[in-house]
Amino acid sequence: MPEGHTLHRLADEITDVFGGALVASGSPQGRFAESAARIDGARLIDADAWGKQLFVRFEGDRFVHVHLGLYGTFDIRRDVAEVPLPVGQVRWRLVRTDGASGTASYGDLRGPTACALVTDTERQAVVARIGPDPLRADADPDRAWARISRSSVAIGALVMDQSVLAGVGNVYRAEVLFRHRIHPLRPGRSLRVSQWRSIWDDLVVLMREGVRTGRIDTVRPEHTPEAMGRSPRVDDHGGEVYVYRRAGMACHVCGAGVRTEVLNARNSFWCPRCQPVFRSRAAR
């Protein structure tokens, strides 16, 4: 379930569970064995995320760079009496043993796109090539606007381009454009700066909520299942959404059939009535 909120939530959890402790590090699967051994027994300082990039910091300015990709997972179990044998392909296992209580906490990383031991210089290079992240307090939305306002590329492609904006994935893309009534195929430069500001501010709120709850919920109070008397959505990410993966179904706001088209090699979703390609004369 990895859009930016998942990685920030994971960084917080890793810091909470393993921060400041000496940890055992290994690669049951073997593909990360040599690097994992180099930090085995070292002190884990903390973890931090920039967009979908996660960095776990160890003493000596060493970092494990993790990118979950489409289906990677990092499952953490706290305070277990016994650490179980690894199930499936575990690329990286992290274990903290609490001598006083006799329990242990552990984390298993499976199916990541990236898992590598890097230097601080390498970490900074990764951070330097991604756009501002709505989940970081120091992020500068003007950096993204500089790209968007000069681009003829579709806004739906731009908001998912991690070098423009970091952390937004296919769900937040569809939902934030719906909430601002913007058709995903509109060129970036056709947006007004005020629209971009609204999108950014909204992403800050939506994604923070995502970090807090671990789900992507984007429907406004008046459009919740309870408010509308409709049945709740059942999906693997668990949140309530307007258009994401609702192709052919009725828009919660206007009833029109939700449309879909491949954009950036990903399925894009929008409501043809709520998100017109061009603003009507009357609306201007």
Token reading at 58: 């160890």
C-beta closer to DNA: residue 71 or 278: 71
Q: Are 160 and 121 in contact (CB under 8 A)?
A: no
**Site map for DNA, 219-258, x if CB under 7 A?**
---------------xxxx------xx-------------
Q: In the range 165-194, which residues lie near DNA by CB under 7 A?
A: 169-171
The span from the CA of 261 to the CA of 239, in Å, is: 22
Closest CA to 268 of 147, 159, 133: 159
Catalytic one of 9, 52, 57, 96? 52
Q: Which of 189, 197, 212, 266 is catalytic?
A: 266
Pick the binder of DNA from 20, 41, 60, 69 (CB under 7 A): 69
How far, in Å, CA of 251 to CA of 241, rounded?
Answer: 10
Nearest-angstrom CA–CA distance, 43 and 254:
55
Query: In angstroms, what CA-CA distances link 96 with 81, 99, 156, 164?
Result: 12, 9, 42, 37
CA 274 to chain centre: 26
Does 226 qualify as catalytic in the annotation?
no
59 is a catalytic site residue? no
Report the residue number, 222 or 236, with the smaller CB distance to DNA: 236
Amino acid at 274: C
Q: Which is nearer to DNA, 172 or 200 (CB)?
A: 172
The interface region with DNA, picked from 65-73, 77-85, 188-196, 219-227 by CB under 7 A, is 65-73
**Residues annotated catalytic, as ranges:** 2-3, 52, 266
Chain residues binding DNA by CB under 7 A are: 1-3, 6, 29, 31, 51-52, 67, 69-73, 75, 88-89, 91, 110-111, 113, 160, 162, 169-171, 216, 234-237, 244-245, 265-267
